[in-house]
Amino acid sequence: MDFGFTASASARLFVAALAGLAFTSGAGAARAAALPRPQAGAPARVDPRTFDPAPPPPNRGDPGDMLFGRSPADTRGPAMPRLARFRSDTGDTFVLEVAGGGPAYLKYDDSGEVWVLNPTTGPRGDTIYKNDVGQPMVRSTRLGGLTVFTQDQPSGVAAAIEGSASDLHAMISGPIAILKVLVQASARTSQAAGHKVEFEAGCPARSKDRAGCPAEADLIPGSEGVFADAANLAAQAFLRVEHLGRAGHDALARYDRVALFNGHPPSVTVVGDEVRIVVTPELGFAGRPSSQRISQVLFRR
């Protein structure tokens, strides 16, 4: 099937960058931009470690027992470093960055998504790091033991430090980069949905729609990286829902456009056939919803 993949971006920011650029995809030319992953070259795929479009069940018992069941043996050692690469007992490798009093950042080596994890206090003084839909992904002990939780290992599996890691926070920049990202995100999303899905970043380029878009919602120079990441995660969310079969296809048939706006706080909502994602660039990775949160909204509209 041949889809005409299109995307539109803020005319005010990208008019100079668009000069001389011609993007074509499927049946028509792309009007705006598409999103490569912040980690260049990472393949688009659904990550089985984190895929779960359903919200977490309510916790009605002891927090430790309900969240973790029987705890695996802790990997005892010195206090956990701020930034390091780890390997779990199942062989998965990932980078984890932690900071006192703030969120942690988790990225599996074979995935393009950086997860923003909020710390909470668990049993025995452990720290439990949860994603933006409230599901635990990492637990650390006071002595430096680390446990990761995945779809395949919901009760947790131990992980140990493998070595040093590079900074997770490098992002793309510039109007040309965001244009390419949006075009690619539109193409991937349209393929998953079975029809054209248009991506927009900032106020719409169409003049009649721009009148109702406040200036503060527009995409501004320097915010391209977070917008690109948000668009990439939206495309990943469509792939998550598409993997649910008939029910997923029926859900995706409702959507024709993904619009990303500057605002507070980061969020995702659906209005008619449009998926609206609010991006807060100054928060970095914490300034956009995760692919799992977006997929829940897409599927449980």
Distance CA 68, CA 149 (A): 9
Q: What is the pLDDT of residues 233-276, one digit of tens each?
A: 999 999 999 999 999 999 999 999 999 999 999 999 999 999 99
**Beta strands in the chain, from DSSP E residues, in sequence order:** 7-9, 24-25, 28-29, 83-88, 93-97, 104-108, 115-121, 127-130, 136-140, 146-148, 157-163, 198-201, 257-262, 267-271, 274-279
Cis amide leading into 123 (omega within 30): no
Residue 183 three-state SS: helix
Q: What is the pLDDT of residues 125-155, one digit of tens each?
A: 899 999 999 999 999 998 889 999 988 888 9
Mean pLDDT for 25-52 is: 44
> What was the pLDDT predicted at 147?
96
Distance CA 129, CA 116 (A): 9
> What was the pLDDT predicted at 272?
93
State the residue for tokens 């950042």: 105
> What was the pLDDT predicted at 233?
97
Amino acid (one-letter) located at 31: R
Nearest CA-CA partner of 182 in 215, 209, 205: 205
Helix, strand and coil in the chain, % to nearest 5 = 30, 25, 50
User: CA Rg, the chain, in Å?
Assistant: 20
pTM: 0.72
> What was the pLDDT predicted at 198?
96
Query: What band does 170 get if pLDDT is binned at 50, 70 and 90?
Result: confident
pLDDT at residue 168 is higher than 80 = yes
> What was the pLDDT predicted at 174?
74
What does the chain come to in residues? 301
